[in-house]
Structure 1
Amino acid sequence: MLMGIQEPKYKAVYNWIVDNINSGELKAGDRLPSENELSARFGLSRQTIRHAIDLLGQQKLVTRVRGSGTYVGGEVRQGRRERYMNIAVISTYVDSYVFPTVLREIESVLSGKGYTTQIAFTGNRVGREQEILSNLIDKDIIDGLIVEPAKSALPNPNLHYYRELMKRQIPVLFFNSNYPELGLPYVAMDDVRVGRKAVEYLVKAGHRRIGGIFKCDDGQGLLRYKGFMQGMQEAGLRAKDRNVVWIDSEDLVDMEYWSDYLFSRIGDCTALVCYNDEVAYVLSGICGRRGIRIPDQLSLVGIDNSELSTLADVQITSLPYPMEELGRKAAENIVKMIENPCFDGNYLFDSDVVERVSVKILGSGS
């Protein structure tokens, strides 16, 4: 290297991989360390790591396999020779108003393609998720896994189980949310866009003092909040921190118990974006018991367009969650990932507001 000319940062990664291939430490078919692992090893950004990997790929020294990793060699690694025609599905809940329809569609599509479906539920608990994943790995009789992550907004202790499945070249597809650290594909509602559209609808109705209730332990809650903030900023509005309330799965069950605190936070709002229809439904009941009239005193927008949105005393404006479509897409994509390891299983669904009567139209000065 010439004096005064600094070698590009990506070359350290590039040279390390090439040297290990030449020395035999990395053999054809071996899986490279993940981008996160290489980033930690070399103290470089993931973008720099990706640039080195891309260059190696152009030279046919490595091959990326979507949902599995990057492997030494210029040929796409073939899937396991033995097929079990069995796909596992892990969901958080069995009795939620959303999941039965999603799971029914997944099972229907997979059955039509000749697969049996093995379904398990975590109750949104990472401990139960660990038990299920450990059992699946021990038995080793699945061709793919469709999974809704447990408490996806929180650090997860089970990531090594997913990495083991990736090492075994078993395709993994998340639905509703994902664990970003893994870089695995997922099928979900476009939660950021949905959060933004909820705010846009309220702003169009004349609301300016808009608050929100979001879940803090699920990735969907964080994304819907992100969209909420985007919508407020695009409308030239400032979201007050006190008007944004964060809840977890347990708080939702006990919402009546801590409702005094809730209303102390949102008391000056004319409208709320609710994490989902369940939050909106429970809140509407509490408002009724407190003598707070919806929508005259407080407007609500939910997300999911579930049956709950029509069961409240005042039917709730909501953005539909694509239950049937999402289930079908998840099943179709996992089969494609099994048949073609390079298939990109990612897909986000858009949604538009279904108007009911829970939002009041205000004057421009409100």
Structure 2
Amino acid sequence: MQSQEAKYMAVVKWVMEQIQSGVFKTGDKLPSENELSREFELSRQTVRHAIDVLEQKNMLTRIRGSGTYLGVGIREVRKERYQNIAVISTYVDSYIFPPVLKGIEKTLSKAGYTMQVAFTGNRIEKEGEILDKLLEKGFIDGLIVEPAKSALPNPNLDSYRRLAKRQLPVLFFNSSYPQLQFPCVALHDELVARKAVEYLIRAGHRRIGGIFKCDDGQGHLRYLGFIKAMKQAGLGIDRRGIVWIDTESQNDLEAWSDYLFNRLKDCTALVCYNDEVAYLLSGICMKRGILIPEDLSLVSIDNSELASLGEVSITSFPHPMEALGKKAAENMIRMIENPYFDGNYLFDSEAVERNSIRVRV
């Protein structure tokens, strides 16, 4: 007589064989408990135990009132449609966001969707208010959002989880909260920062510093790329030459100028978090009699109009801007149509060369 373990293991092994052979794929619905009971001539209790075991192995997801599906975090396709997408952005007037929002709007409109937009000012309390309103009376098919201060602990994560439980797709852009497993469309920040350091190394620089943002996830990824490139080149990392700023100090960089240049005085080149930082820094350098690129070379990220506005135009790696918005909207539409679609996408970038780099012999 078969043991209880052997009985339920027959179902477990059969499901795993179907997955390995490609008969079952992620998102496929498992036969009902009644169907498995008849097929294996087992009690529903034994079949239920087998499903429990497979669920503990992260192979199945139960959806109440719908059934059991292959994969983790699977959700049932929503039937109602409002043809409306909510978009939350940190800023409305920064050089990055108007093109991003333009790309989102054009793509959604072409597909028959309307767009409702809200702005957080990169403040988590404002983000929370917006999410509460969406949860209360959203009438939306999905949410595209740039997280507020994505590198810091955030009290709004449960609100995002509640949206997901309502089977609403959520897609981040530019950055994401690491605690949430939602897809993200962004610049490949780590890779681009590595390329920026490598660009300076090819120009003969060895004492390279960096200014990074501490409260946004992009800053941490760009710092990671910076460190990896320096180590790959066998260069020592002077911790004094790495400066962290936040959103507020970036807006008043000149007030920190004594501190900045005390930290950066031994650097011949600098990777700037973005064009705004590079532009402000170059203006402070000019007031202090520090010549760019003769005394200090700068390379930046975004390739915005700010890269060309200063006394010396700045070499910069382009942010995809409108293309990023277009991709985010395209991926959101696909996530609505297919809940199992992977909406992640990272953009590469290459330097646009200008006059801010001195080649050292």
TM-score (norm 2): 0.83
Q: Take 1:335 and 1:63, find their aligned partners in 2: how far apart are those partners?
A: 23
For 2:294, which of 288, 293, 296 is the aligned residue?
296
The reply to whether residue 191 of structure 1 matches residue 189 of structure 2 is yes
Alignment partners' CA distance in 2, 1:122 and 1:132: 8
Q: Which residue of 2 aligns with 1:129?
A: 127
The equivalent residue for 2:77 is: 78
1:114 lines up with 2:112 in the alignment: yes
Task: Report Cα offsets for 1:329-363 as digits up to 9, x if no partner.
Answer: 00000000000001110000000111100000001
Letter in 2 for 1:133: L
Equivalent residue number for residue 169 of structure 1:
167
- The residue number in structure 1 matching 2:57 is 52
Q: Which residue does the alignment assign to 1:160?
A: 158
How big is the shift at 1:51?
Answer: 8.5
Per-residue Cα deviation, 1:46-70 (whole angstroms, up to 9, x for no partner): xxx999113x47xx954337xxx24
| CA–CA separation in structure 2 for the residues paired with 1:62 and 1:268 | 59
**What are the equivalent positions in structure 2 for 1:62-77 lying under 5 Å apart?**
62-64=69-71, 69-70=73-74, 77=76
Aligned to 1:324: 322
Equivalent position amino acid for 1:120 in 2: A
Instruction: Give, in angstroms, the shift of residue 180 of structure 1.
Output: 1.3
Q: Distance in 1 between matches of 2:74 and 2:83?
A: 25
Return the index of the structure with the highest Cα Rg: 2
| 2:117 partner SS | strand
AA aligned opposite 1:119: V
Return the offset for 1:90. 0.1
Question: What does the per-residue CA deviation read over 1:22-64, in whole Å, with 9 as the maximum and x for residues that have no partner?
Answer: 779x9xxxxx9xxxxxxxxxxxxxxxx999113x47xx95433
1:253-272 superposed matches below 5 A = 253-272=251-270
Q: Residue 101 of structure 2 corresponds to which residue in structure 1?
A: 103
Secondary structure of residue in 1 paired with 2:277: helix
**Offset of 1:239 from its aligned partner?**
1.2
| In structure 1, C-alpha distance between the alignment counterparts of 2:142 and 2:150, rounded to whole Å | 20
Q: Distance in 2 between matches of 1:244 and 1:356?
A: 24
Q: Take 1:120 and 1:129, find their aligned partners in 2: how far apart are those partners?
A: 9
CA distance 1:272–1:23, shift in 2 (3 Å):
farther
* Distance in 2 of aligned mates of 1:325 and 1:51: 40
Structure 1 residue 258 displacement after superposition: 1.2
The residue type equivalent to 1:284 in the other structure is: S
Q: Report the Cα distance in structure 2 between the residues aligned to 1:241 and 1:140, rounded to whole angstroms.
A: 47
Unaligned runs of 5+ in 2: 1-11, 13-32, 34-43, 62-66
Report the secondary structure of 1:180's partner residue.
coil
- Coordinate RMSD, CA, aligned: 2.1
What amino acid is the match of 1:167?
A: K
Distance 1:285 1:239 in 2: 26
Q: Provide the rounded CA distance (Å) in 2 between the counterparts of 1:338 and 1:78.
A: 8
Identify the residue that residue 277 of structure 2 maps to in structure 1: 279
Kindly tell me: are residues 346 and 51 of structure 1, through their superposed partners in 2, closer, same or farther at Cα, counting changes over 3 Å? farther
Equivalent position SS for 1:170 = coil
Distance in 2 separating the partners of 1:64 and 1:89: 28
Runs of 5+ unmatched residues, structure 1: 1-10, 12-20, 27-31, 33-48, 72-76
Q: Distance in 2 between matches of 1:23 and 1:291?
A: 80
Cα distance in 2 for residues equivalent to 1:253 and 1:125? 14
In structure 1, C-alpha distance between the alignment counterparts of 2:306 and 2:45, rounded to whole Å: 62
Q: Which residue of 1 aligns with 2:219?
A: 221
Q: Residues 184, 23 of structure 1: CA spacing in aligned structure 2 closer, same or farther, 3 A cutoff?
A: farther
AA aligned opposite 1:78: V
Q: Secondary structure at the match of 2:352?
A: coil
What displacement does 1:78 show? Answer: 2.1
CA change 1:50–1:358 in 2 (3 A) is: farther
Query: How many matched pairs?
Result: 310
Q: TM-score, normalised by structure 1?
A: 0.81
**Compared with structure 1, are the counterparts of its residues 254 and 148 closer, same or farther at alpha carbon in structure 2 (3 Å cutoff)?**
same
CA-to-aligned-CA distance 1:110-164 (integer Å, 9 cap, x gap): 0111101000000000000000000011003000000000000001100011101
Question: Within 1, Cα distance between the matches of 2:69 and 2:255?
Answer: 57
Partner of 1:18: none
1:89 to 75, 87, 97: 87
Residue in 1 that maps onto 2:5: none
